[in-house]
């Protein structure tokens, strides 16, 4: 066979070929370190990543889509992620476009924050620092191939999750120092 022959576009797809295109993700994050880490994780997952550093830029870039997913930091200068999401949702309604999934990126896991994200129009919530598995789950959940399936199922509600304790109190009380020890230790 000819090594330079082109593949038959009508040939069946083999398991090693992916018929899906890469996800187009708009990453909105003002912190350069967080943006770099999230961008690299997204790239490793095969996403095409475009970045915005504040909510105002996010609104502009969202309008220039198309996007498969927007990862939106909530606390940013110029315009926060909550207001940016509200404006993106309003622009989608005005233009008659289907809503792009927007996932909150925040260190705040309190119910009030989760409710505010939901009310603004966000679809899900990832806590910082971003965990690879949680990001992969979000990408799988909002992958373009699942859009039609999502239209027929309701998404689970955003919910606050308890923050695990950073440390545990000692099991026994800390013994007090003897008077001799206290005198020997300079303060």
User: Residue 109 CB: number of other CB atoms within 10 A?
Assistant: 15
Measured CA to CA, the distance from residue 50 to residue 54 in angstroms comes to: 13
Mean confidence (pLDDT) of the chain: 78
Domains of the chain are 24-151 (3.40.50.2300)
Residue 3, pLDDT > 80, answer no
DSSP 131-155: PHHHHHHHHHHT-GGGHHHHHTSPP
Measured CA to CA, the distance from residue 22 to residue 128 in angstroms comes to: 24
Measured CA to CA, the distance from residue 80 to residue 55 in angstroms comes to: 5
21 burial type by CB count under 10 A (0-12 exposed, 13-18 middle, 19+ buried): exposed
pLDDT at 176: 55
pLDDT digits (tens, 9 = 90+) for 87-130: 999 999 999 999 999 999 998 878 898 899 999 999 999 999 99
- Tell me the helices (H) and strands (E) count for the chain, helix number first: 7, 5
Measured CA to CA, the distance from residue 126 to residue 116 in angstroms comes to: 14
Question: In this predicted model, which residue has the larger pLDDT, 140 or 170?
Answer: 140
């Amino acid at each position: 066979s000819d090594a330079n022959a082109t593949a038959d576009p009508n040939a069946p797809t083999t398991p090693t070929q992916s018929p899906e295109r890469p996800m187009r993700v708009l990453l909105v994050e003002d912190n350069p370190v967080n943006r770099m880490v999230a961008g690299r994780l997204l790239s490793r997952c095969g996403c095409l990543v475009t970045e915005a550093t504040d909510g105002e830029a996010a609104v502009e870039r969202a309008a220039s889509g198309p996007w498969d997913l927007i990862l939106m930091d909530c606390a940013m200068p110029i315009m926060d992620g909550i207001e940016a999401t509200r404006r993106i949702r309003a622009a989608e309604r005005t233009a008659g476009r289907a809503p792009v999934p927007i996932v909150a990126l925040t260190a705040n896991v309190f119910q009030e924050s989760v409710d505010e994200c939901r009310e603004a129009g966000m679809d899900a919530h990832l806590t910082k620092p971003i965990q690879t598995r949680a990001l992969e789950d979000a990408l799988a959940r909002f992958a373009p191939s699942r859009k039609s399936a999502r239209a027929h199922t309701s998404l689970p509600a955003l919910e606050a999750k308890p923050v695990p304790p950073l440390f545990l109190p000692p099991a026994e009380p800390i013994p007090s120092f003897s008077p001799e020890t206290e005198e020997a230790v300079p303060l």
